């Protein structure tokens, strides 16, 4: 049976932990010069509606380093741009490829591809979720803090696909998650309630970033205007006033708190240069870890390797 990864709730806590452990192992093996090749003879397709730097290159590099190949497909250059049904495209691509990585707008789009493609489908970002990013972020937390159990994780900013995916992670892993988002920019209510009902999870929501960051071990943020929000920058800058992760806000966090940002970063808006470039920032390690996590995911869904 094929394995799709459309949201973190597709994984059990055990599967999530095994992917994190395997990504860390693959990273260490590569640093020792050990080359794993579970994707030899396999081809991964990347079908993107949205521009990308880290997500695209991390999956392409991961596929190549595991011995496979990758093909980047801009959706606008395909017959999808001429209204070919997703079902038709999915069935055709499923005959050419061994996995399909999709970066698009609607979550329903990746669900439709998964329904009709005979190969695994991986959600590389939709407006609702960004599961592969959160897996890389959790990997980073494990590396720098030794694990995530007992940690207070704060989210500061837009209640976007990243916030939604952190809520999914909290529901699966039983995390303590404190979110601070401006009124009108909150995460999905159903995801908040689901996470709050999950065993071991502790989820709080505030409109004051100081409440979320107080005592936090991990502080997360993201741009205030994501792709699809073009033209809303001025409106959002007003709504998000006071939500900048700066030194004053970080002073409220735990002494050894780490800062995460999935990038790209707008210095002086959602985060200051001082914090992003400072000793508490793990953003660059986090960015590299996207490739190692992509390798673990591809190995799991394509390479026939059990996590």
Would 1 be classed as within a structural domain?
no
Question: Cβ atoms within 10 A of the Cβ of 112, count?
Answer: 18
Q: Are residues 76 and 95 in the same domain?
A: yes
Domain hosting residue 197, numbered range: 133-286
| CA 158/CA 194 separation, integer angstroms | 19
Would 216 be classed as within a structural domain?
yes
Q: Are residues 169 and 100 in the same domain?
A: no
Would 29 be classed as within a structural domain?
yes
pLDDT digit of tens for each residue in the chain (307 aa)?
899 999 999 999 999 999 999 999 999 999 999 999 999 999 999 999 999 999 999 999 999 999 999 999 999 999 999 999 999 999 999 999 999 999 999 999 999 999 999 999 999 999 999 999 999 999 999 999 999 999 999 999 999 999 999 999 999 999 999 999 999 999 999 999 999 999 999 999 999 999 999 999 999 999 998 766 667 888 999 999 999 999 999 999 999 999 999 999 999 999 999 999 999 999 999 999 999 999 999 999 997 666 5
Would 3 be classed as within a structural domain?
no
Domains of the chain: total:
2
Q: Are residues 101 and 215 in the same domain?
A: no
Would 306 be classed as within a structural domain?
no
Peptide bond preceding 7 in cis form (omega within 30 of 0): no
The helix/strand/coil state of 273 is helix
Enter the tokens of residue 58. 């991390």
Give CA separation, 33 vs 166, 179, 306, in Å.
33, 40, 22
* Model confidence, pTM: 0.97
Enter the tokens of residue 145. 């803090």
Q: Are 10 and 169 in contact (CB under 8 A)?
A: no
Give CA separation, 141 vs 116, 134, 188, 285, in Å.
35, 10, 24, 10
Would 295 be classed as within a structural domain?
yes
Domain with 189 in it: what CATH number? 3.40.50.1370
Q: Are residues 27 and 96 in the same domain?
A: yes
Q: Are residues 158 and 233 in the same domain?
A: yes
């Amino acid at each position: 049976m094929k394995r799709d990864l459309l949201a973190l709730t597709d994984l059990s806590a055990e599967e999530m932990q095994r992917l994190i452990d395997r990504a860390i192992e693959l990273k260490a093996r590569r640093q020792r010069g050990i080359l794993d090749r579970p994707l030899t003879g396999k081809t991964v397709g990347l079908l993107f509606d949205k521009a990308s730097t880290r997500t695209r290159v991390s999956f392409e590099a991961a596929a190549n380093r595991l011995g496979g190949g990758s093909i980047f497909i801009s959706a606008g250059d395909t017959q999808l741009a001429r209204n070919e049904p997703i079902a038709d495209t999915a069935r055709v691509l499923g005959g050419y490829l061994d996995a399909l990585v999709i970066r698009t707008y609607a979550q329903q789009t990746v669900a439709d591809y998964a329904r009709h493609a005979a190969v695994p489908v991986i959600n590389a970002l939709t407006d609702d979720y960004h599961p592969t990013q959160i897996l890389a972020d959790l990997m980073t937390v494990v590396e720098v803090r030794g694990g995530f159990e007992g940690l207070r994780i704060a989210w500061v900013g837009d209640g976007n696909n990243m916030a939604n995916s952190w809520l999914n992670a909290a529901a699966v892993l039983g995390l303590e998650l404190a979110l601070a988002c401006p009124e009108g920019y909150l995460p999905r209510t159903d995801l908040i309630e689901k996470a709050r009902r999950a065993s071991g999870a502790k989820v709080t929501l505030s409109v004051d970033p100081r409440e979320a960051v107080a005592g936090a071990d991990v502080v997360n943020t993201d741009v205030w205007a994501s792709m699809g929000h073009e033209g809303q920058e001025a409106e959002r800058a007003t709504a998000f006033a006071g939500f900048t992760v700066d030194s004053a806000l970080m002073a409220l966090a735990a002494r050894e708190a780490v800062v995460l940002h999935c990038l790209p970063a707008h210095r002086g808006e959602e985060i200051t240069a001082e914090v992003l470039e400072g000793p508490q920032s793990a953003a660059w390690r986090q960015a590299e870890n996207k490739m190692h996590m992509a390798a673990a995911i591809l190995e799991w869904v394509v390479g026939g390797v059990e996590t």
